[in-house]
Structure 1
Amino acid sequence: MESNENEFNPQQPNEHRPEQSAYGQPDQHVTNPSFKSKLELTIFSIEHLREIAKWSKFLAIIGFVGIGLNVLGLGFFFLLAPNMSPFAAEGLNIFAGFAGFIGFVFIMALYFLPILWLYRFGDNLKKAIDMNNSAELESAFGFLKKHYKYVGILIICFLVLYGLIIVFSMLGGLFAAMGTL
């Protein structure tokens, strides 16, 4: 049986196999065919990666459970116990409870994707180590990259939001102080 040079084989050196994206499709960018990876994983590196896979899956599962418990707990608080709502005295308890619940579900949805990607990283990393599969390893690191990129962007957004809150709070205090003179 003849081997096709363009056929993907994870055991081939990097310069002979087509570049794959995280989705298993060939990348559209041009690569340097003379590039040769000199990176080798030692047995200790593999054991560290095996432990990282376990901990990332554990943290992701705890994250999924935490999201579920938060949504259920807040759902109970806002929807099933409206008299306990801080808005009960104003008569806005049902609307405010529902709006608060939807807002909180949105925030939990923001946390779902990075936790999912962390779980997929751990799962693919374990498969890559167990099967000695470079394609699974690439996929695992692709999910880890997505996880860190998303969390980084989310942190930047929150920092900007906190900065705006601080600036507007200071401006509000300044205007309030000027109004009392």
Structure 2
Amino acid sequence: MEQTDHTEEPGEATEMLITFEAENFLRETGKWSNFLGLAGFVFSILTIISAFSTSSINAVVGSMQQTYGSGLDAKALGSGLSFLYFMLGVLIFIPSLHLFQFGASLKNGFNYGDQASINLAFQKLKSYFRFWGVLVISIIVFYVVVVIAAIAGGGVKV
């Protein structure tokens, strides 16, 4: 009996059939991706606006601190909070962009029968999941480092 090797080179075209049912599922997924991407853009913009608003509130609190005195350094606290809000806005924007681009490319691919657009759509979907995967791994590593530091330091003693 002769065996044939069916391994294909990367980039080689393969015949794949997307059924009518699968196409409908993907079209609906694309619509939800567009909606969630747009919602992410709105939340991202609101978060970044909040970062600048926090910076403005920081100026008011700083002037009150000079007048009434306080144990907290309001400028450092406000600047740190502004920075965190800004970074959160950026972290919301990046996956929202990938999700929106996935939905738009998928829609173009199906509407115009463009295989390149469908390939781009799935590339954007891969980028979306890669972003969240790297972020989750980073958070887990951060938690592990914090736990190890807490164990090594014997906790916080005041």
Same fold (TM over 0.5): yes
In structure 2, distance between residues paired with 1:32 and 1:111: 33
Alignment of 1:125-144 (within 5 A): 125-144=106-125
Alignment of 1:39-54 (within 5 A): 39-54=16-31
- 1:165 aligns to 2:146 (yes or no): yes
By how many angstroms is 1:73 displaced? Answer: 2.5
By how many angstroms is 1:36 displaced? Answer: 5.4
Residues 11-39 of structure 1: per-residue CA shift (max 9 Å, x gap): xxxxxxxxxxxxxxxxxxx9379x65232
Q: Which amino acid aligns with 2:35?
A: F
- 1:60 aligns to 2:41 (yes or no): no
Q: Which amino acid aligns with 2:118?
A: L
In structure 2, distance between residues paired with 1:91 and 1:150: 36
Larger deviation, residues 90-99 vs 157-166: 90-99
RMSD (Å) for aligned C-alpha atoms: 2.7
- 1:146 aligns to 2:121 (yes or no): no
Aligned to 2:78: 97
Q: Which amino acid aligns with 2:145?
A: L
* Percent identity between the two aligned chains: 24
- 1:107 aligns to 2:61 (yes or no): no
Aligned to 1:37: 14
- The structure with higher relative contact order (CA 8 Å, sep 6+) is 2
TM-score by length of 1: 0.69
In structure 2, distance between residues paired with 1:95 and 1:166: 26
Q: Which amino acid aligns with 1:81?
A: I
Q: Which amino acid aligns with 2:25?
A: H
In structure 2, distance between residues paired with 1:139 and 1:165: 39
Secondary structure (helix, strand or coil) at the match of 1:112 reads helix
In structure 2, distance between residues paired with 1:112 and 1:172: 37
Aligned to 1:79: 55
By how many angstroms is 1:103 displaced? Answer: 3.2
In structure 1, distance between residues paired with 2:37 and 2:134: 19
- 1:122 aligns to 2:100 (yes or no): no
Aligned to 2:5: none
TM-score by length of 2: 0.78
Q: Structure 2 unaligned segments of length 5 or more: list them.
A: 1-7
Larger deviation, residues 88-97 vs 156-165: 88-97
Which structure: greater helix fraction? 2
List, as ranges, runs of 4+ consecutive aligned residues in structure 1 with deviation greater than 4 Å: none
Q: Which amino acid aligns with 1:103?
A: L
